[in-house]
Structure formats: structure tokens, C-alpha cells
Chain A
Amino acid sequence: MEEKSKIETAKPKKKDPRAMLQKLNRKPFLLKSSPHLQSEYSIEKIMRGVILALLPTTIFGVIIFGWHALFMILVGIFTCVLTELLFNLISGKKFKLTDGTSVITGLLLVLTLPPSFPISGVILGSVVAIFLGKMIFGGLGYNVFNPALLGRAFLQASYPVKMTTWILPNYAEADAITGATPLGLLKFENIFTSIKPLILGNIGGTIGETSAILILLGGIFLLVKKYADWRIPLSYIGTVFILGGIFWLIDPTQYPNPIFHVFAGGLMLGAFFMATDMVTSPVTNKGSWIFGIGAGIVLITIRLFGGLPEGVMYSILFMNGFVPLINRYTQPKTFGRLKNE
């Protein structure tokens, strides 16, 4: 309080830099949440880029799983934006429709749900994702865990059966056929799926995870535009490939080959779009490597030795919890620091 009053009472002199700055620019202090620095990036621009990158796999999901998937996506996005709006209204924060992050959260949440999921569940998950996952912590930039994955984890714990009921792609035919995902087939029936359908996406799975090639397309777009840190997907997928490869070499009849690991399930979607979330991933380069490698180890452990067929969600959420610690211990050395310090 004291400092504030000092600033207010100090009259700007003629050569006061602050006054000069004020002359140059009427708004000397631009208040925004991270990412800071003056660059061509802004939250809105990056979020538009992410939505654009997600479009191919979203459209593909709607095509192969039908209108219900589209309805789920729209409801998810709408509920997320509405929840953020209502929270801001009630807590008296600045009225702002959305900066696009809630749209991404809603879209990502629905893309990780099974295509036959009930709409009431989508609404519940969206509210939990924004309210418990983001706003309760203080809004964008303060959340510890990825909001979309938190919403999904809540749904996974609430509706364990519905979250694991999959329908096979039916190309808009009337009858939905239930079937297992490739990872589920592997885990519970020990059936290996060949790689080609995994890449093309003609398999059971969540709305947005089936086609590896389309996700890769969007992911590369993000990396080229530098909207995402390339170190995280590379170290995450790389660790899964190497660890999966080691187990495959030990016993090829029991463990799937590493290429299967990379293309199956939600790894692609998680590695490019969720692990790279700027708020919940480390800020340092070294930290990004640790984050990706840690998530890869957790994922392989769950897939090969855990009770669940898939572990992308838990592996990323698990590493999200370590991000503050990773940031703290991977601070780069300051320039000019003495050796013994």
C-alpha cells in the first residue's frame, strides 16, 4: 500500500522516464497472462492455431462416428465457455467472453471421450474441467493440471463402464457396433492389431484419437508454427518407442512392437496437444525433456503392467504434478555466476 501511494504522489518530472513512456504509449503497462515477452504470439492467436491443428482429426472423428460425435463436441465447447463465463461473473472478474482456451479445453475433452458417451456426461466433464481444473486455481496460467484431462479423469472415475464402451467406426450407418480398442484387444484378449488401420484410423477408440496420421499433421503444424515445444512430444513418444522396443525384443509374443505403441491409443493426441499445454508443462528446455521422458515411462508401465489398457491421461496428469518441482531444479545458470556458487 505504501509503495502504491508513493507512486501516486510522486509527480512526474520533465525527464521522468515513466512520463516519457506515457507520452509514447498511453498504456505503459500491458497486463496479460503468460506467455509474456513482446512477440507476434498472443493467447488468442495460439489458440486459433491449436484449433486449426485439431480440425482434421475432429472432422474425421465426426465422419466416422456420426452426428452424435459432432453434437458432443458442440455441447462440450459450449459448456466450457459458459462455465468460464459464469465463474467470472460470480467471482466479479473482468467480463470476457473467452480467450479461446476454454474452447480448446472443451474440444480436447470431447476428443478423448468414447463416441457413444451420453451428453449429460459431456456437460458434467466440461463443468469439472473448467471449474475444478482451471478457475478454482485462479484461471488461465495458474492451473496445475491440464483441465481437459482433469475433466476426463473425473468422468473416468464417475462412469467407468461408459468410459470404456467403444463403438467401431460405422461411416454414418444406422447401427452402431460395439467393439474394443486395439489396446483393449491387446490387454484383455491378447490380440495384436496391425499398424495400417492404426495410422489411417479405421479402428475403435475415442472421437479424436483414431487417426494417427491426421493428428501428426496437426501436431507438425503446431511445431512448425512454434506453438508447441518440440522437445515434449519427441521425448514422450521417443521414450515410449525405446522402452516398448526393449520389452518387444525381450519377448515379441507377449509384448507388442514399439510402432504399435506409438500409433495406438491416445499417445499421438496426448503428446502433441495435451502434454505441450504451455501452462502445465515445464518452462525450461531441460525440464521439457524430463517431463516427456517421465510421462513415457509412466505410460509404458501402465500399458504393459497396469490394470488399464491405456495410460496417456494418467501419465500426463502424473507429470503435471511434478512440473513446479522440475521448473525449480532445472533453472539455467545465470550468466556471470561464479563456479563455486
Chain B
Amino acid sequence: MSKKKVTLIQEFLKGIWKENPILISLLGLCPTLAVTVSAENGLAMGLAATFVVISSSIIVSMLRKIIPSEVRIASFIVIIATFVTIADRFLAAYFPDISSSLGPFIPLIIVNCMILGRQEAFASKNGIGRSFLDAFGVGLGFTLVLVLLGTIRELFGSGTIFGIQVMWDSFHPWAVMILPPGAFLALGLMIGASNWLNELGEKK
């Protein structure tokens, strides 16, 4: 009965900050670290993952009484893979540049634990409406962190944001930020900053 206490709006908002898939749960780090060399890539990856998590959450929630619990993981994967294929083909058809720069990481959304985690932990136990709001919130939280991380790395690593020059002319880009160490550094600092903000909030 405890779930009745959670209002619908809370169901949606919790994925953005309180249970943010990256900053709090540390799920789906592989695409997070690998593709965020630019804000554009982060946005594309975030939107693709959001589409997949919303669609598969709705389907899993609809089928939750039919799927036998013994084969539920396999069933979730098949459902997720369906939508990942749709997203992958859509990007390849309409945004070939982004599709090629994201490379294998779009198909790899299938094994993104953030998405499978929502099916296992939420969509298979809740109704369609709540599952949709939950998936939407988590997807939005995922996208926001990816865009922010991509922006930070692009700003310092190339001096641009979404491809537009923002740093002054004499600024020497820090090549390390668009290399793998920069991803770990930036994400670590972001997680540290979010924990710090949470602590500040608790103190008040």
C-alpha cells in the first residue's frame, strides 16, 4: 500500500534528482562516459535512451501479468531491443552524422542497466500511467546529466558548446577533457557536487 502515498508528480520528479540514474544510482555509465565528448552527442544519446525507456516501460507494464517471472529478464530484453532497433534505424535514416559518431553505443542501449533496471524495479510492478511517468522522469534525468556532462567536456575540451565557439580566441583547449580521463574526472566532480548540494539541502 505504500505506493499510494507517492503522488504522481513525485513519481515523475524522483528520476530527475532524488533517484537520478547516473548521479545517484550510477547506472548506465558506459554510454555516459563514452559518448559525451560533445553536448550534441549527449543530447542524442539521452533522447534515444529516453525514447527506449518510456516505450519499453509502457509495453512491459501492459504485459506484466502475462510475462512469466522465470523468463522476465529475457522478455524485457526482447522488448527493449525492439525499441532500440527503431531508435537506431531512425537516427541512421534522419541523422546519419550523429548516428555514425555514436557508433556502437546506440545498439548498446539494449544492455543499458538503467533501462532494464526500470523494467525490473518499476514497470513490471506498476500500472501503465505510473510506469510512463517513472520512465519519463528517469529518462529526463539521464538526458539532463548527459547534456551537462557533454557540455562541460565540450566547453573545456574543444572550447565550444553545441559546435558554437564560446571560449575566447587565445584559449587552448584541454585535450584531456575529450579523452577518457576527462570523462571520469568530469563525472566524478559532478557526482561530488550533487552530493555536496544534497548535504547543503539537508543541513537547512
Contact = CB atoms under 8 A, between A and B. Distances in A.
Q: Do A and B come from one complex?
A: yes
Given A132-B185, A136-B192, A118 B172 contact: yes
18 contacts: A118-B172, A120-B172, A121-B172, A124-B174, A136-B192, A154-B174, A154-B176, A157-B175, A157-B176, A157-B179, A158-B172, A158-B174, A158-B175, A158-B177, A159-B174, A159-B175, A160-B175, A162-B172
A152 B29 CA distance: 27
A162 B185 CA distance: 22
Interface residues of A, number: 12
Interface of B: 170, 172-177, 179, 181, 185, 192
A176 B69 CA distance: 74
Interface in A96-135: 118, 120-121, 124, 132
A160 B176 CA distance: 9
Contacts of A124: 174
Question: Which label, helix, strand, loop or mixed, suits the secondary structure of the A interface?
Answer: helix
Question: Which label, helix, strand, loop or mixed, suits the secondary structure of the B interface?
Answer: helix
Contacts of B173: 158
A160 B174 CA distance: 10
Nearest to B182: A157
Q: Which of A118, A121, A132, A157 has the most CB of B within 10 A?
A: A157
Nearest to B174: A158
A1 to B, nearest CB: 18
Q: Which of B176, B185, B192 has the most CB of A within 10 A?
A: B176
Interface in A126-164: 132, 136, 154, 157-160, 162
A149 to B, nearest CB: 14
Contacts of B185: 132
A125 B177 CA distance: 14
A158 B153 CA distance: 12
A63 B96 CA distance: 57
A136 B170 CA distance: 29
Q: Which of B170, B175, B177 has the most CB of A within 10 A?
A: B175
A158 B176 contact: yes
B201 to A, nearest CB: 16
Interface string A213-226: 00000000000000
Contacts of A157: 175-176, 179, 181
A15 to B, nearest CB: 42
Given A157-B179, A159-B174, 12 more contacts: A124-B174, A132-B185, A157-B175, A157-B176, A157-B181, A158-B172, A158-B173, A158-B174, A158-B176, A159-B175, A160-B175, A162-B172
A124 B173 CA distance: 11
| A-B complex: 6 closest residue pairs judged by Cβ atoms | A157-B176, A158-B174, A158-B176, A158-B175, A154-B176, A157-B181
